[in-house]
Structure 1
Amino acid sequence: MVESESTEGIEALIEEHILPKLDPDFLAYFASTQARLKAAQPQPQPTVPNPPIEHVRAHPEAYRSPCAVDASGYAGVSNLISPSRDLGVTIPVRVYHPDPMKHGAGPYPVHLNFHGGGFVLGDLTTEAALCLSMREAGVAVVDVDYRLCPETTWGKCIQDGWDVLKWVRESATALRINPASISIGGVSAGGHISLVLQHMARDAGIPLKLCMASVTPATAGLSYKYYTDSPFPSFHEFHRGPVLPWERIKYFGRLCMPPETLPALRKMWPDWWFAPLHAPDWSNLCDTFIRTAEVDPLRDEGEAYALKLVAGGNKVTVKRYLGCPHTFMYIDAMKRKHEYDRDAIAALRAAHGLC
């Protein structure tokens, strides 16, 4: 039972076994969000938790992350275009250079960021606040606007990430970055992309300083028929959690990997792209920082990936943020979010030798 007046009334919205596990800051944020929704729609409205994709694309402002911001006009921020292997396609990126008064004129180490959103949602505003924070480490941050499903076939997101990684290395002088000091990372779907790129970079002989993946799906969960298909306890325990419940995962899965197209998709891409936990070779991978959230169905997948890295002889740091749901790092009202930001800065500074 939540006793704080600020969280009154949410007991009916969060299952009894989950409620006491949640951070008080999140509960207060959740309660205030529900109160605003109720004030905006005093009469009961039919809920559409997973709306048609056409509605989502027509009203992007309604589906942006809580920390979304258009940073395109900020000092040190530039909008650029990366080439793609696909004819007629380019990949928008937003580059965040650190303050030269604090960190010198460069060339800077560089970190590639891949946003979350279930491979369906997100753009260059989604994690701008995180990118602005990470550049305080003294690194340039390249935020990647990879192609989304269902407009683009799943798997092209990973190819886009790879194409941008190569472009960054080839454009080091123009970008004022050090091509010998590159790290990658992302949240949720973006973390999944990062894990795949970690293996691809090793295979291609491209050295990375760090892979920093957060609340990362490491199995083929988007193609599950039922949540009980998962072998991980957290997937079962939190399948009706307040953030990323099973119904939401199924929604993303239907848009990314519809059952009728899944056989064809599996012929297009390596099987382990769908489930990085099943990658064939775990040797000689770059240092990795895996961050999980305690009250997240994907928690155990990320931690299982970390154990595979350990077994392969790699250097791994793992941190579980207690009381936090999926994508808590988007919620500015949470102290844990600011802890997450500090941890990212510290990890980037250590990885790139800036300490």
Structure 2
Amino acid sequence: MSAPPEGNPQYDPVKEIEPHILAQLDPEFVEYWTNAQRKGAPNKEQFTIEALRANPEKFARPSAIDTKGFKGTLEKEVTSEDGAKVPVRVYYPDEAKHGPGPYPVHLNFHGGGFVVGDLTSDAGMNLRLVEAAGIAVVDVNYRHCPETLWGKCFQDAWAALNWARDEAEALNFRTDSFTAGGISAGGHIVLVLQHLARDAGFPLKAILPTVPPTTDLFLFKYYTVSPFASFKEFYRGPVLPWAAIKWFGGLTMPEDKVAELKSLWPDWYFSPLRAPNFKGLAPAFIRTGACDMLRDEGEAYGHKLIAGGNKVTIKRYLGMPHTFARLEGLTQQAQYEVDTIEYLKDVHGIHQ
């Protein structure tokens, strides 16, 4: 186990963040980031897979909450295609406020580069969604790399979506009102689900991917390989720089596994932008951060949806980096949650 992270009391964003990036970042985020660095954010030497697995709590976001056993929650397991058991946590709204159900259902897939994250990652958001929107939330702890081959996460997600529909009566879910959302890697999973659901005739009401990677960026040798301007502009930005993408890539798609992975999965699983058919897909609410490397590729996916005749809303949050949606205390993060709640209420037909 690594030593506790030591802060850098002298951290100065003017010296550490490139001027062209710092000028675009929201001052609230800069203050948040500066405080985090000064208090002791884990450094690159400590950020190893061994340290993460040995002490995940130390590396968890401040907003992470363990809601196991909370009132209105239910622990379940879903059986994936290969027989693996996938933990899910179901959140129910307050019956006194929202009625006895059955409830519309939103499936959530956390971010973390397909490597980190668990049922604590988005727990606070899930609690607020069920309270404000009156829907049930199924939080899915899909399998991670490197312990599991990349791509199994899509099987886990598809199994969870079908389980929620197949067990709807027992779970007090509506069978006609499903949505799915996720941040970063979770957003990528949701994009794949969008196509799988269309092909299987599964009537998703909408998907809500936030800051999703839509290219096979983990296979890029250099950041300059990306065709998107934001990837190059923010490659040394805070939160998700190119160095972090390479770190995640080494754990998800190491060179000695690439041939095997490409033999297992369709090409578009790696890059949803290359999906063969963009017609007849579920409506999408795509959110990006203006100062995120992945901004342009996320928006490009939205534009392909529009060209395919689908209903799409794209919102760019100014001054925000990658994963801003989980940086509680920021004005833009609070607005993100309001936007999420209002969109979900609308697509699920909830009028309060």
For the aligned pair, the TM-score class normalised by the smaller chain equals over 0.9
CA contact (8 A) 1:194 1:211 kept: yes
Deviation at 1:17, TM superposition (A): 0.7
> Which deviations, in whole Å up to 9, do the C-alpha atoms of 1:238-271 show, x marking residues without a partner?
0000110000000000100011211111110000
**Alignment equivalent of 1:22, drawn from 1, 22, 25:** 25
Q: Distance in 1 between matches of 2:47 and 2:323?
A: 20
1:13 Cα deviation from its structure 2 partner: 1.4
Match runs of 1:104-183 below 5 Å: 104-135=99-130, 136-183=132-179
- 1:350 positional shift: 0.6
Is contact 1:293-1:321 (8 Å) kept? yes
Q: Comparing 75-84 with 153-162, which one deviates more in the overlay?
A: 75-84
Runs of 4+ in 1 over 2 A off after TM superposition: 6-9, 46-52
- Counterpart mapping for 1:52-67 below 5 A: 52-67=48-63
The aligned runs of 1:309-328 (5 Å cut-off) are 309-328=305-324
Measure, in 2, the Cα distance between the counterparts of 1:248 and 1:299: 16
Q: In the aligned structure 2, how far is the partner of 1:212 from the partner of 1:34? A: 30
In 2: Cα distance, 1:56 partner to 1:304 partner: 33
| Map of 1:223 onto structure 2 | 219
Matched, 1:84 2:80: yes
Q: Cα RMSD (Å) of the superposition?
A: 1.6
Distance between the aligned counterparts of 2:239 and 2:43, measured in 1?
16
Question: Aligned ranges for residues 288-327 of structure 1 at < 5 Å?
Answer: 288-327=284-323
Which amino acid in 1 is paired with 2:35? S
Give the TM-score normalised by structure 1.
0.94
State the partner residue of 1:246. Answer: 242
Q: In the TM superposition, what is the alpha-carbon distance from 1:8 to its structure 2 partner?
A: 8.0
Instruction: Check conservation: 1:296, 1:326, Cα contact below 8 A.
Output: yes
Q: Structure 1 regions of 5+ residues with no counterpart?
A: 1-5, 39-45
**In 2, Cα distance between equivalents of 1:130 and 1:248:** 25
Which amino acid in 1 is paired with 2:281? L
Distance 1:31 1:150, change over 3 A: same
CA distance in 1, matches of 2:51, 2:165: 38
**Residue in structure 2 matched with residue 194 of structure 1 by the alignment:** 190
Question: Given the two structures, how large is their TM-score scaled by the length of structure 2?
Answer: 0.94
> For 1:171-216, what per-residue CA distance to the aligned partner results, in whole angstroms no more than 9, with x for missing partners?
0011110011000110000000000000000000000001000000
Change (3 A) 1:306 1:37: same
Q: 1:103 aligns with which of 83, 98, 103?
A: 98
Counterparts of 1:149 and 1:8 in 2: how far apart (Å)? 32
- 2:90 corresponds to which letter in structure 1? V
- Kindly state the Cα deviation for residue 50 of structure 1 after the two structures are TM-superposed: 6.7
Deviation for aligned residue 1:73: 2.6
SS at match of 2:178: strand
1:122 aligns to what SS in structure 2?
Answer: coil
Deviates more, 1:190-199 or 1:96-105: 96-105
Assess if the C-alpha contact under 8 Å between 2:268 and 2:275 holds in 1: yes
Could you list the runs of 5+ residues in structure 2 that have no partner in the other structure? Answer: 1-8
Q: Give 1:288's aligned amino acid.
A: A
Distance in 1, matches of 2:202 and 2:171, equals 18
